């Protein structure tokens, strides 16, 4: 059975009704453009449906009574595509660890911030562990053509803002930060220090992924023709990305938390258990129904309708220019 889990249901409903009313009014009032307004009405309906986050039942997840604000800061730069998590990319290890973090802190408020050339708040604080897991499972490395170099501290300002805002709302709830990355700094400027964030963090872990030998990185691209290729080194051959434990250790020191090197087969639960238990009763035998979010499926027809709308707009603009040029030549 499909269920819905909107983040801001009233806002989504009000905006959806207003936009749909406008489209229907135009559909009835404007003759000769009914196909366009029918398309826009369908686009609004699909967008509202997507915002309501439809989901299907998806097994069970543990529940608990943990009072904490948990911030997961995860690297999504090109280097996390490096295939040195065994034979898999580093992102696989990060996703596996986020599942364990969500399990250990079930019932706590969790947030996800991703960073590559910029930082993005992927999930605001929520006690919905399933939403966090599904979001992180959907993450992909930064598109190679869009990469402009990554600072390991690019998430500094956003993390500080979210920590301050959440502390004001929940001053008695401890803040726990998990920073997941490989420490590879490719920006020209030196990374900003996290020293001024340490006072907002009660505990946490910096988790490091990668090897000293390094791994090749498959190209992340919108172009299917190059997705099976590897990033090339300007000096020749396949480029290799290597973990920088010096950077990761420095970030841990600045935040006042512990650095932990990760590798396939090494359990992280032992490190998470005591940390979660300090904030409440983490009873992983209690479960609740999980869900598999299917909102992304609606993105396909939305993208097609947007492309149709853009094509229609381009044709209209060409027609307008033709009329203006003819008027100007008279």
- At 93-123, the pLDDT tens digits run 999 999 999 988 988 999 999 999 899 999 9
Domain match, 86 and 121 both: yes
**Interval 163-170 mean pLDDT:** 95
Asked if 26 and 114 sit in the same domain, the reply is no
Tell whether 40 and 181 lie within a shared domain: no
* CATH at residue 181: 3.40.50.410
Q: Which of 76-80, 155-159, 307-311 has the highest mean pLDDT?
A: 155-159
Q: Mean pLDDT lowest for which of 58-62, 177-181, 234-238?
A: 58-62
Considering only CA atoms, which of 4, 159, 147 is closest in space to residue 80? 147
Q: Which residues contact 64 (CB under 8 A, 6 or more apart)?
A: 105, 106, 107, 108, 276, 280, 281, 282, 283, 284, 286
Indicate if 165 and 192 belong to the same structural domain.
yes
Strands (E), 119-160: 119-126
Contacts of 249 (CB under 8 A, 6+ apart): 206, 259
As a whole number of angstroms, the distance between CA 60 and CA 161 comes to 33
User: pLDDT category, 173, cuts 50, 70, 90?
Assistant: very high
Together in a domain, 162 and 120: yes
Confidence grade of residue 200 (pLDDT, cut at 50, 70, 90): very high
Domain boundary at 285, 304, 321, which? 285
> pLDDT grade, residue 328 (50/70/90)?
low
Please count the structural domains in the chain: 2
**The pLDDT value given to residue 73:** 98
Q: Do residue 250 and residue 185 come from a single domain?
A: yes
161 and 237 part of one domain: yes
pLDDT for residue 42 is more than 80: yes
Residues 110 and 253 in one domain: yes
pLDDT at 283: 47
Q: Indicate if 102 and 175 belong to the same structural domain.
A: yes
Dump pLDDT digits (tens) for 66-92.
789 999 999 999 999 999 999 999 999
- Mean pLDDT, rounded, for 16-35: 84
pTM score? 0.69
Please indicate, yes or no, whether residues 156 and 190 belong to a single structural domain of this protein: yes
Q: Is 313 helix (H, G, I), strand (E, B) or coil?
A: helix
Whether residues 277 and 298 fall in one domain: no
Together in a domain, 42 and 72: no
**Residue 9's domain spans which residues?**
3-57+293-329
CB neighbourhood size of 277 (10 A): 13
């Amino acid at each position: 059975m499909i269920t819905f889990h909107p983040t801001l249901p009233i806002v989504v409903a009000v905006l959806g009704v207003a936009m749909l009313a406008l489209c229907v009014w135009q559909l009835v009032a404007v003759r000769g453009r009914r196909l366009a307004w029918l398309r826009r009405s369908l686009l609004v309906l699909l967008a509202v449906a997507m915002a309501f986050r439809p989901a299907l039942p998806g097994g069970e997840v543990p529940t608990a009574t943990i009072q904490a604000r948990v911030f997961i800061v995860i690297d999504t730069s090109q280097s996390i595509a490096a295939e040195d998590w065994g034979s898999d990319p580093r992102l696989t290890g990060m996703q596996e660890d986020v599942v364990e973090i969500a399990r250990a802190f079930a019932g706590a408020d969790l947030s996800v911030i991703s960073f590559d050339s910029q930082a993005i708040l992927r999930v605001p604080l929520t006690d919905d562990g399933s939403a966090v897991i599904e979001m992180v499972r959907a993450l992909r490395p930064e598109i190679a053509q869009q990469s402009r170099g990554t600072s390991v501290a690019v998430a500094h300002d956003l993390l500080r803002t979210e920590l301050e805002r959440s502390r004001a709302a929940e001053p008695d709830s401890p803040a726990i930060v998990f920073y997941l990355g490989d420490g590879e700094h490719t920006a020209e400027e030196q990374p900003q220090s996290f020293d001024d964030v340490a006072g907002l963090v009660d505990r946490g872990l910096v988790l490091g992924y990668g090897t000293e030998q390094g791994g090749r990185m498959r190209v992340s691209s919108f172009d299917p023709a190059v997705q099976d290729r590897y990033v090339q080194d300007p000096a020749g051959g396949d480029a290799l990305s290597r973990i920088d434990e010096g950077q990761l250790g420095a970030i841990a020191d600045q935040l006042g938390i512990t650095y932990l090197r990760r590798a396939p087969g090494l359990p992280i639960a032992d490190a998470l258990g005591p940390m979660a238990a300090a904030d409440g009763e983490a009873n992983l035998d209690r479960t609740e129904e999980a869900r598999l979010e299917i909102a992304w499926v609606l993105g396909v027809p939305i993208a097609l309708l947007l492309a149709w709308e853009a094509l229609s707009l381009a044709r209209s603009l060409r027609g307008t220019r033709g009329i203006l040029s003819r008027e100007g030549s008279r």
